[in-house]
Amino acid sequence: MQTALRTILPETEFGSRANFAPHARVAREERPTQISGLPLGIRGLRKSYGDNEVLRGIDLHIPSGQFVAIVGKSGCGKSTLLRLIAGLEKSDAGSVSFGDEIQAEDIRVMFQEPRLLPWARVLSNVEVGLGRDRSSTDAHVRAEKALAEVGLADKRDQWPSVLSGGQKQRVALARALVSRPRVLAFDEPLGALDALTRISMQRLLERVWRDQGFTAILVTHDVAEAVALADRVLVIEEGRIAHDVVVNAGRPRERGSAELAGLEGSILNHLLSGDDRT
Amino acid sequence: MSVIDSVSLPRNFRLPRVDGLVQWIVPLAIVALWQIACVTGLVPTRVLPAPSDVALAGWKLLLSGELIRNIWVSFWRASIGFLIGGSIGFAFGLGNGLSQLSAKLTDTTLQMVRNVPHLALIPLVILWFGIDESAKLFLVALGVFFPIYLNTLHGIRTVDPQLIEMGRIYGMTDSELFRRVIFPGALPSIFVGIRFALGIMWLTLIVAETIAASSGLGYMAMQAREFMLIDVVVLSILIYALLGKLADSASRVLERATLSWHPAFQKN
């Protein structure tokens, strides 16, 4: 019954926008310098699991601060590509390089599941994201700031189990943001959310990306989401980049505009064209 | 909304003070029925003495100091045996849960030993230790070891691998990963082990004290049997019941305090 109410009244789920916009502004003013995103260079990347060749040579350059969405059918290798970029798995051949010396805290991943520690309060969960700075004296302050950015400052002392699915995912986003990453990889972060929560989360993702300027890589199966958020959409088919589509629409984007819908249609056609042949 | 309100009302409706008493209604009713049965002669007192007689016997033993001394001796044996067996079981559970090598080395042996009923070792233990304190402590420790070992091991093995991956991504060191992810994740299962172990602890101790001891509750009951003091025998049995309940409540309190994050332990 709670979930039902939540779907009907998305604003109770998210707090009104007016509520968290001021926090975001504070965070923006206090940040000393804009940390720029990292450019990403991928050369000849290959990966197989046993006999199954998942990635068959990926070459890709992502300029710093770009928002790239990766779409494709399930099993096409898009998640594997993301895991290789994030360093969660080792490639068989090829390389992933960033333009700069990187630290572990510079790259963060957000998964489809929030993966919050159920035995830690919301604030401590966000502090986990600080990596080696976890024990520093300003850990609390930084975590609180990150929570405010996702509009959940008032939930700091709650257990994760009392939060809704969307709220948990926002805590996970705060945890990923708290170390000011320069590359943020999203592995279908909104896949498990209901339609309205998804749209609010997409807006939130776009806002923090514009505020912080990190390079964003979003793996999704939702083409509409890809064209709504990304500067560039990569279509992966059978372990290769089949199409590289630039989305020129200005921001903030209007959902359901004819331009985006047209783009979405043509990408979907690419994706589905294989099905007709077989 | 009004329909929903009226449906959800009974769930929130609570009388906390009565709640604590409700659980005692049945035990008290049984005692009352028992007293009536004895007073009316329905049950002959040489089969079962009336609760009032048992209470009187308890009062006498309390005055002589014998009761307190025996309870204390048993309580001490139970706790020391529990601590020894529990810590060894916990250590093995941790070791085998965290290290494949350790598990390969010891798990098979432990599983074989586990299938020997530990009370079957009583003759051997008497030969080894006599009817000394160490005999009882050994048996209790052995009995407590397995539930704690098995549940600690299970708890650690079933910690969500996604959380462990998350911890690694966020740069947790091994000790941090253990402290923040693995141990808290295994705790609910460890508590299941502790509660099983508490039951086994009393069972083992009473049997051991009945067979080979010169003090303690089990000894008191056996002595009373020899002198046909049936009220003291019944008194001992009732004290076991109370001590068992006490140990269970203590572990529940601990569980509530440490697992307050768990949805099952949250109020509402």
Instruction: Please report, for residues A150, A158, A172, the alpha-carbon distance to residue A167 in angstroms, rounded to integers and kept in the order given.
Output: 9, 11, 9
**Within an 8 Å CB–CB cutoff, is residue B227 touching chain A?**
no
Tell me: pLDDT of A5 over 60. Answer: no
**Within an 8 Å CB–CB cutoff, is residue A8 touching chain B?**
no
Query: Is residue B37 domain-resident?
Result: no
Query: Is residue A21 domain-resident?
Result: no
Query: Is residue B125 domain-resident?
Result: yes
Query: Which positions in chain A touch B261 (Cβ < 8 Å)?
Result: 118-120, 159-161
pLDDT digits (tens, 9 = 90+) for A211-236: 889 999 999 988 999 999 999 999 99
> Are residues B180 and A117, on separate chains, in Cβ contact within 8 Å?
yes
A143, with CB counted inside 10 A (0-12, 13-18, 19+), is buried
**Within an 8 Å CB–CB cutoff, is residue A120 touching chain B?**
yes
What token pair was written down for B264? 């099952």
> Are residues A104 and B171, on separate chains, in Cβ contact within 8 Å?
yes
pLDDT of residue A21: 40
Query: Is residue B103 domain-resident?
Result: yes
**Within an 8 Å CB–CB cutoff, is residue B126 touching chain A?**
no
Cβ neighbours of A149 (radius 10 Å): 25
**Within an 8 Å CB–CB cutoff, is residue B261 touching chain A?**
yes
Tell me how far apart the alpha carbons of residues B182 and B161 are, in angstroms, rounded to a whole number: 10
- Give the mean pLDDT of A18-25: 41
Query: Is residue A154 domain-resident?
Result: no
What token pair was written down for B96? 């085998």
The confidence band for A7, taking pLDDT boundaries of 50, 70 and 90, is very low
pLDDT of residue A20: 41
Q: For residue A272, what are the domain limits?
A: 34-102+182-277
User: Distance, in angstroms, between B90 CA and closest chain A CA?
Assistant: 21
Query: Is residue A109 domain-resident?
Result: no
Partner residue opposite A109 with nearest CB, options B169, B171, B263: B169
**Within an 8 Å CB–CB cutoff, is residue A192 touching chain B?**
no
Identify whether the C-beta of residue A231 lies closer than 8 Å to the C-beta of residue A263: no
pLDDT digits (tens, 9 = 90+) for A226-265: 999 999 999 998 888 988 999 988 887 877 788 888 889 9
Identify whether the C-beta of residue A53 lies closer than 8 Å to the C-beta of residue A46: yes
> Are residues B162 and A86, on separate chains, in Cβ contact within 8 Å?
no
Query: Is residue B264 domain-resident?
Result: no
Total domains present in chain B: 1
Instruction: List the 73-102 stretch of A: residues with Cβ below 8 A of B.
Output: 86, 88
Query: Which positions in chain B touch A104 (Cβ < 8 Å)?
Result: 171
pLDDT digits (tens, 9 = 90+) for A108-151: 999 989 999 999 999 999 999 998 888 888 888 999 999 998 99
Interface test with A, best of B4, B259, B261 (most A CBs within 10 A): B261
Query: Is residue A125 domain-resident?
Result: no
Q: For residue B205, what are the domain limits?
A: 52-259
Query: Is residue B217 domain-resident?
Result: yes
Mean pLDDT over each residue of chain A, to the nearest integer: 83
pLDDT of residue A178: 92
Query: Is residue B35 domain-resident?
Result: no
User: Distance, in angstroms, between A186 CA and closest chain B CA?
Assistant: 14
Q: Output the domain CATH number for residue B114.
A: 1.10.3720.10
Query: Is residue A10 domain-resident?
Result: no
Tell me: pLDDT of A165 over 50. Answer: yes
Residue A176: closest CA among chain B residues belongs to which residue? B170
Tell me how far apart the alpha carbons of residues A110 and A149 are, in angstroms, rounded to a whole number: 16
> Are residues B162 and A115, on separate chains, in Cβ contact within 8 Å?
yes
**Within an 8 Å CB–CB cutoff, is residue A105 touching chain B?**
yes
Q: How many CB pairs under 8 A join A and B?
A: 49
pLDDT of residue B164: 93
Query: Is residue B2 domain-resident?
Result: no
Residue B184: closest CA among chain A residues belongs to which residue? A119
Edge-to-edge strand ranges of the sheet holding A52-62: A52-62, A40-49, A93-98
Residue B163: closest CA among chain A residues belongs to which residue? A115
Q: Output the domain CATH number for residue A245.
A: 3.40.50.300
Query: Is residue B167 domain-resident?
Result: yes
Query: Is residue A156 domain-resident?
Result: no
Tell me: pLDDT of A32 over 60. Answer: no
Low-confidence ranges of chain B (pLDDT < 70): 1-19, 267-268
Identify whether the C-beta of residue A234 lies closer than 8 Å to the C-beta of residue A244: yes
pLDDT of residue A253: 82
DSSP bridge pairs for A68: A217, A232
If you ran DSSP here, which 8-state letter would residue B118 be given?
A: G
pLDDT digits (tens, 9 = 90+) for A77-110: 888 999 999 888 899 998 888 877 788 788 999 9
Query: Is residue A75 domain-resident?
Result: yes
pLDDT of residue B16: 54
Total domains present in chain A: 1
